[in-house]
Amino acid sequence: MASSRSQDSDAPNPSARLEEILNDKIRIQELPDSDQEYEDISPEEEAHMAYLESVKIPIVDTFQTDSSEAQDETLEAVLPFLEGNPNDYPLNEFGIPHLQKEKHIKFLQKALGDYPAPFAMMDASRPWIVYWSLQGLSVLGYPIHEYGERVIHTFKLAQHPNGGYGGNYGHLPHLAATYAAVLSIVMVSYPNKPSTYDSINRKTLWHFLGQLKQADGGFNMTSGGEEDIRGAYCALIVLSLLDLPIELPPDAPARKQGLTTFLDNLGSWISKCQAFDGGISAAPGNEAHGAYAFCGLGALSILGAPTDTLHKYLDMNRLIHWLSARQCAPEGGYNGRTNKLVDGCYSHWVGGCWALVEAAIPPKDPHSTIWNRDALARYILAAAQFPKGGLVDKPGKRPDAYHTCYNLAGLSAAQHKYIYDAKRDTVSNNLDAPFHWYAKGKFEGGTKIWAEEDEIKNVHPVFVIPFGKVEQCREYFEGKDRKGFWDGAEGG
Ligand SMILES: [Zn+2]
């Protein structure tokens, strides 16, 4: 506790400011004293209390702001779920709620159905709803091939005649919608049924991407739209997975400014997105954010081997410091920005960064890890499950496909180990870095808190879809002739 720290005679004298904080009794807040609440405390509950005792932050500055009040309210909402089991879930042998797999599957199946009128605001998010639901079902081990025909039908209608996919039928093409649409199609495709892969018009897609490449190296999200790091990640995912030519199409505007490939100036543009505090932001000069950190690391991991590109374009020490600071204590889950609240979706956006970081800086001991996987899994299992199915941002919120998908991706990241093997015999050398990964089984270090039946499938750390689907897709398109891309210079 802080008070004992101040009496430690070996410690250097605290600054006047620190002394003031330490001496002000009001500033030192204990976590809720629940002795009376838990008179008949079970061994599991005792273990939870010991855990919370070990991670709690001793000093809470009483300078009140909107942020500090929101944080106090969040802690109040989350703590009962870490201390006990308010939803009465069946517990695993570690006293932590089991993953409610069947309920989450039912929730995601429903998410692929019809929506009531208030969801009209989600009209432009159709590809995302499909992607989140299919990826969530896959990681839970549910066979998604039954959705194949519907998915292909949906995206045939959302594919724009000039290339790329819109957020819904008749919408203009957008890179985020294109990313979600392509990943969804790839998840339900099989090499022995080429019509599914071939529903993607790669040539027009290539021309669409060519319209988005900017002279400074980045990508716009849509023609005339904003340039940010999502663009870099989404464009590279599509270029790499579908084995598109990395040369810019002849009609790409960036050619007029001397660029010849999609990769020109890209690494240095991503580098400029690293903020002063070590995190990665949407665009140079912006505030660092967890989801943009994942996009930046993902893009660099496609551009080349993470062992090279991450060190070349990022200050890794500062990045690791910033990523680590996103894990909230005692909540255990991640927030997305400095002074923000824990939120289940960052289980992936920040939790998913670690596999890429660990590939660049492999831990010496294969059983060790540089992030706290157990604390994240504890937050997801204990606090982020919704009793009727689906996963949430934080207790008190409603579940949705987005938070379900990314909580599960974070849980999977905590449970699995991924290795980047530079020597791995892989596809041709056209943006081949993300095909050098393999899943090396379960993570066995740390404090065990999940049971075997709480384990879920592995997820490709760069593409965030099943491993097998990534490899099948690239192999399929590598067999295709790319010569036709150059016919008709104006494209179409
Ligand atoms: Zn969220």
> How many angstroms separate the alpha carbon of residue 334 from the centre of ligand 1?
10
Helices (H) and strands (E) in the chain, counts: 20, 2
Percentage of residues in the chain with pLDDT exceeding 90? 78
Q: Are residues 271 and 384 in the same domain?
A: yes
- Gap from CA of 119 to ligand 1 centroid (Å): 18
Q: DSSP character for 279?
A: -
Three-state secondary-structure class, residue 101: helix
354 and 253 in a common domain:
yes
pLDDT over 50 (residue 4): no
Is residue 52 pLDDT above 90, yes or no?
A: no
Residues 340 and 411 in one domain: yes
The pLDDT of residue 107: 98
Phi, psi of 96, deg, nearest 5:
-105, 145
Nearest to 31 by CA among 75, 87, 92: 75
| Å from CA of 385 to ligand 1 middle | 13
CA distances from 179 to 39, 109, 236, 348, 479 (A): 53, 21, 10, 17, 22
- In this prediction, residue 11 carries a pLDDT of 47
At which residue do the structure tokens 């299992």 appear? 381
Regarding whether 71 and 171 lie in a shared domain, the answer is no
Q: What span, in angstroms and rounded, lies between the C-alpha atoms of 411 and 457?
A: 10
Q: How far is the CA of 394 from the centre of ligand 1 (A)?
A: 8
Please give the distance, rounded to the nearest whole angstrom, from the Cα atom of residue 393 to the centre of ligand 1. Answer: 5
63 lies in the same domain as 153: no
The per-residue pLDDT for range 429-455, each reduced to its tens digit, is 789 999 999 999 999 888 889 999 999
How confident is residue 479, by pLDDT bands cut at 50, 70 and 90? confident
**CB proximity list for 226: less than 8 A, separation 6 or greater:** 220, 283
Instruction: With respect to residue 325, please indicate whether it lies within any of the assigned structural domains.
Output: yes
Instruction: Give 105's strand partners.
Output: none
Domain-embedded: residue 249: yes
CA dist., res. 189 & res. 196, Å (int): 5
Question: What is the C-alpha to C-alpha distance for residues 406 and 346, in angstroms, rounded to an integer?
Answer: 7
The Å distance, Cα 407 to ligand 1 centre, comes to: 9
State pLDDT tens for residues 147-161: 999 999 999 999 999
78 and 108 both lie in a single domain: no
Are 281 and 349 in the same domain? yes
95 occurs within a structural domain: no
Of 56, 83, 110, which closes a domain? 83
**Is the same domain home to 379 and 280?**
yes
CA–CA distance from 312 to each of 166, 269, 309, 434 (Å)? Answer: 35, 12, 5, 17
Whether residues 326 and 199 fall in one domain? yes
Cβ–Cβ < 8 Å for 341, 74: yes
488, 132 Cβ separation under 8 angstroms: no
- Is the peptide bond prior to 330 cis by the omega test (within 30 degrees of 0)? yes
Task: Tell me how far apart the alpha carbons of residues 336 and 340 are, in angstroms, rounded to a whole number.
Answer: 7
Please write the tens of the pLDDT for every residue from 108-146.
999 999 999 999 999 999 999 999 999 999 999 999 999
Q: Note whether residue 68 is domain-resident.
A: yes
**CB 49, CB 82: distance < 8 Å:** no
Instruction: Find the domain containing 290 and state its range.
Output: 101-486
Q: Do residue 148 and residue 181 come from a single domain?
A: yes
Among 83, 110, 141, which residue terminates a domain?
Answer: 83
Residue 65 lies in a domain: yes
Q: How many domains does the chain have?
A: 2
Whole-number Å distance, alpha carbon 159 to ligand 1 midpoint, is 28
Q: Which of 192-196, 204-208, 283-287 has the lowest mean pLDDT?
A: 192-196
What CATH number corresponds to the domain at position 299? 1.50.10.20
User: Which of 48, 83, 118 marks a domain boundary?
Assistant: 83
Cα-based distances in Å from 425 to 92, 246, 249, 470: 40, 21, 29, 15
Rg of the chain over Cα atoms, rounded to whole angstroms, equals: 24
Gap between the Cα atoms of 85 and 381, Å rounded: 11
383 located within any domain = yes
Query: Considering the chain, what is the average pLDDT of its residues?
Result: 90
Closest CA to 361 of 324, 311, 318, 432: 311
In a domain, 57, yes or no: yes
Distance in angstroms (rounded) separating the CA atoms of residues 22 and 8: 13
* 322 & 407 share domain: yes
Looking at the chain, how many residues does it have? 492
Å from CA of 267 to ligand 1 middle:
28
What is residue 359's predicted lDDT score, i.e. its pLDDT? 96
- Residue 331 in domain: yes
Q: From the CB of residue 468, how many other CB atoms can be counted at a distance below 10 Å?
A: 9
**Residues labelled catalytic:** 289, 337, 340, 343, 345-346, 393, 400, 403
> Scanning the structure block, which residue is given the tokens 């570690």?
94
Strand partners, 97: 91
Greatest extent of the chain over all pairs of C-alpha atoms, in Å: 79
The pTM of the full predicted model, rounded to 2 decimals, is 0.90
- The answer to whether 315 touches 272, Cβ cutoff 8 Å, is no
| 290 shares a domain with 396 | yes
